[in-house]
Amino acid sequence: MAALYRKYRPQDFDEVVGQEGVVRTLTNAISHGQIRQAYLFAGPRGTGKTSLARILAKALNCEQGPTPKPDKTCHACRAIAEGTSLDVVEMDAASQRGIDDVREIRERVVLQPVEGRYKVYILDEAHQLTDAAFNALLKLIEEPPPHLVFIFCTTDLSKMLPTVRSRCQTFSFSRPRLADLVRKLRRLAEGEGIEVPDAALSLVARSARGSYRDAESTLDQLAAATEKQVSVQAVLQLLGAVEEEALFRLCDLIVDRDTAGALTFVEELSEQGQDLGRLVTDLLEHLRHLLLVQHLGEVPESLPVTEETRDRLREQANQLPEATVLRLCDLLAVAVEDQRQGGDPRLPLELALVKVTRPAADLSRESVAHRLELLERGVHSGHVPETVPRPRPEETGPPEETPSLELEQLQEAWQRTILPAVEEKSIPTASVLREAHPKGLAGDRLTVEFPQAASFHRQLAEEPKNATLLAEALYEVTGRHLELAFEVGENGGESEPELEEPVSEEEIIELMRGTLDAREVEPE
């Protein structure tokens, strides 16, 4: 028994779905006798390139033709449909890609067609032909015998030689819309007696990512596994896909800043056997849809979503701040990269959810930028986010509340975030502070400690210019105005340790060069 995608392959131009522009151009050309010697069909896999090439061959060789409406009943049409026609030769350029294969073509094209008007060569995955093979074909494509037609099919148009493309009439095949895919699957299900709800067909179509063949093969597999009683749950189990409701619920938890709820929900999905790697990719796709709605003001028709999903997308796009969507996309990209390296995406996913629901707990510079965006958005909309301190109604001055801050947070962010912020303002100042570390935090007073051998660096750090740069960087990262105190570690002080060797003149000069950006001036 033939696979469903082969059984329901379109047999004439009227049955082709989703490629209206290509079909219209070809049928008009055939009607007006404007048949070209070479065609190039380019587009993603599973979009009907080879099927349309066979239909074009039928239109050229039908007993009623050349005609845009082949009768499908004559001997030529039936032979082409069954793959037994001697006048239509299909070649897989992935395996028959060498110059010897092309020489064989050149030897045979001089022969007249057996029963049709044209000898048609269909080269699938044509971009895999070698350069030598393409060069051998050039003259034949440019000046072919009147009975010869080439149809090149490729999934990678950029790899086709420009000299070949210039001799072909090129047609670009687009991915089908979700509605087109669902309509094709519904016709196939009715023809095979498969009971399947529209929601399940939408899931199958969405997972195919624009490939008719993939969608039809998936439905074929589902029909065999469920004895033609396909349910939404069966589709989710087979594909490992995430139900749309789960994606909406996870984003609702992010809107509510419910960290515990988000982590618990991820745990529930994991216990149900959900592929968390697939959850990350599906969540990224969902966030992309939200971004499009936020920027376009409406749900684009091109989105592969059902009608009932559109209203929920609009509602959630208005609830979830754009800055949060962008921040979460950046964080999930880490999980995707870890997955590519063979790692477990669960921890990066959970960290992303924590950071995006509790931005005040994250002192990274990206998180600070995220909080500033939320603040700006709140000011423009008249609503200040919960993570931003709110002034009391009777206050006219700055708010008394300040972001909470722990010493451990500063110590963790010192090398990763604070020093890079200083370095953007002054590289010498950052190099002076690189040996120091936060030692104590009492209220708004931060003590910065230097090692015993770095008392000179401490003196440089105490200079007003350098201390001000550090204070500004700390404010950018923490949102707190901190008073600074500098000290040397225990047993330190102004005197050097007894066992320490005296510093040479060359070392002092080198230190001044590195920290103060100084240069030595030769005496006159």
Q: What is the DSSP string of 498-524?
A: TTSPPPPHHHHHHHHHHHH--------
Looking at residue 64, the DSSP 8-state letter turns out to be T
- Give yes or no for a contact between 125 and 94, defined as CB atoms under 8 angstroms apart: yes
Any long-range contacts for 95-98 (C-beta under 8 Å, 24+ apart)?
A: 97/128, 97/129, 97/130, 97/133, 98/130, 98/132, 98/133
- pLDDT of residue 492 exceeding 80, the answer is no
Distances (CA, A) of 385 to 281, 320, 356, 358: 28, 12, 13, 12
Question: 152 forms bridges with which residues in the sheet?
Answer: 40, 123
**Residue-level pLDDT at 274:** 80
Q: For residue 457, give the nearest of 373, 398, 514 by alpha carbon.
A: 514
Distances (CA, A) of 277 to 206, 244, 290, 348, 441: 17, 16, 20, 10, 41
Percent of the chain with pLDDT over 70: 82
**Residue-level pLDDT at 306:** 65
Tokens of 11: 């047999």
Looking at residue 112, the DSSP 8-state letter turns out to be P
**Residue-level pLDDT at 394:** 44
Any long-range contacts for 158-166 (C-beta under 8 Å, 24+ apart)?
A: 159/127, 159/128, 160/40, 160/42, 160/126, 160/127, 161/131, 161/134, 163/134, 163/138, 164/40, 164/134, 164/137, 164/138, 165/40
Lowest mean pLDDT among 22-26, 290-294, 516-520: 516-520
Peptide bond into 66 cis (omega under 30): yes
Cut 0.75: pTM above it: no
Question: 488 forms bridges with which residues in the sheet?
Answer: 450
**Residue-level pLDDT at 520:** 67
Looking at residue 415, the DSSP 8-state letter turns out to be I
CA-CA distance, 283 to 348, in Å (whole number)? 13
Q: What is the mean pLDDT of residues 12-30?
A: 88
Q: How many other C-beta atoms can be found within 10 angstroms of the C-beta atom of residue 323? A: 20
Residue range 202-225, pLDDT digits in tens:
888 877 877 888 888 888 888 888
The pLDDT-based confidence of 512 (bands split at 50, 70, 90) is low
- Give yes or no for a contact between 363 and 476, defined as CB atoms under 8 angstroms apart: no
Q: For residue 4, give the nearest of 204, 172, 232 by alpha carbon.
A: 204
Q: For residue 94, give the nearest of 133, 144, 59 by alpha carbon.
A: 133
- pLDDT of residue 132 exceeding 70, the answer is yes
> HEC string of 445-488?
EEEEEECHHHHHHHHHHHCHHHHHHHHHHHHHHHCCCCEEEEEE
Residue range 354-409, pLDDT digits in tens:
888 887 655 455 555 555 555 555 544 555 444 444 444 444 444 444 556 778 87
**Residue-level pLDDT at 28:** 92
Residue range 295-351, pLDDT digits in tens:
888 887 767 666 677 888 888 888 888 888 888 888 888 888 877 877 788 888 888
Burial class (CB in 10 A: 0-12, 13-18, 19+), 161: middle
Please name each of the domains of the chain with its CATH number. Answer: 4-172 (3.40.50.300), 178-239 (1.10.8.60), 244-371 (1.20.272.10), 407-494+502-516 (3.30.300.180)
Q: Under 8 Å CB-to-CB from 293, ≥6 apart: which residues?
A: 299, 313, 314, 317
CA-CA distance, 462 to 366, in Å (whole number)? 29
Q: For residue 451, give the nearest of 407, 486, 409 by alpha carbon.
A: 486
Percent of the chain with pLDDT over 90: 5
